[in-house]
Amino acid sequence: MKRTGSWISLPSQAGKRGGRRVSYWLVLALVPAAVLFVASLVYLCSTASVYRVTQGALFVTTARVRVNAFLDAVPMRKGQLLVDLGCGDGRVLKWAYERYGVRGIGYELNPLAYMAARLRCRRVREIEIKRENFLDADLSEADVVFCYLFPDVMNRLVRRIPVAVKPGATVVSANFPLPGCPASRILRPESLLHGEPIYIYQAGPEAPAPFSSPVHPL
């Protein structure tokens, strides 16, 4: 009887094991899908919550190779101030601090990007992340202003930047130019995926500091 019992029970145990294996794979497939879904939802909600102000300038980060190209081309001294207009996850400020020991201020409205930037820069006292609109920012102390924004935002920024920065300041714009302002230099990083131009502007030596001609070519 015992034997018969085990003969009868064998297939059902195998069935249970098979069932367990199926649910194991199902969980393995579903967990990443669920994580991806929640992450996309959080991204969408955080983007939608500030879209009225940020418009096309969504939370997208600048690749390391591009940040390095900017840092190579614009050497800074320890203690100088770098401002990132729409600092995303704070990478530009953090990497600039690591390379040159500069102070940093990042403006960021998107709550997800703001939290990522706070987290990334949490151990660096020299970097401050502000959850504020950069159009209201005081740029008069900035030695270098960096931005990676989109054309609709650049159109608004161009009215403000030339009168807001101090004489001699450097303004760097990734991907999109400041409309109507002649750049002192245009970088084209050697990268198949990340080779879009980076525009460098130098403010004139007198206030207000218009970007007339390449006053101080870098």
Please work out the total of residues on this chain that contact ligand SAM, with binding judged by CB under 6 A. Answer: 24
Position with the least CB separation from ligand SAM: 86
- Out of 118, 133, 168, 214, the residue judged to bind ligand SAM by CB under 6 A: 133
CA-based end-to-end distance of the chain? 92
Closest to 59 measured CA to CA, from 32, 82, 40, 72: 40
Stated length of the chain: 218
Question: Under DSSP, is residue 130 helix (H, G, I), strand (E, B) or coil?
Answer: strand
Interface with ligand SAM, residue 173, by CB under 6 A: no
Asked if 99 and 92 touch (Cβ cutoff 8 Å), the reply is no
DSSP 183: -
Query: Judged by CB under 6 A, does residue 170 bind ligand SAM?
Result: no
Q: Looking at 83, 108, 176, 184, which residue binds ligand SAM (CB under 6 A)?
A: 108
Nearest distance from C-beta of residue 86 to ligand SAM, angstroms: 2
Residue in 61, 124, 155, 197 binding ligand SAM, rule: CB under 6 A: 61
Q: Is 104 in the site for ligand SAM (CB under 6 A)?
A: no
143 binds ligand SAM per the rule CB under 6 A: no
Q: Is 153 near ligand SAM (CB under 6 A)?
A: yes
What is the spatial distance between Cα 164 and Cα 157, in angstroms, rounded to a whole number? 10
Omega of the bond leading into 208 within 30 degrees of 0 (cis) = yes
> Count H helices, E strands: the chain?
5, 7
Q: Which of 60, 65, 119, 163 binds ligand SAM (CB under 6 A)?
A: 60
88 counts as binding ligand SAM under rule CB under 6 A: yes
Residue (of 194, 97, 191, 217) closest to 146 by Cα position: 97
Binding interface with ligand SAM (CB under 6 A): 53-54, 57, 59-62, 84, 86-88, 91-92, 107-110, 113, 133-135, 148-149, 153
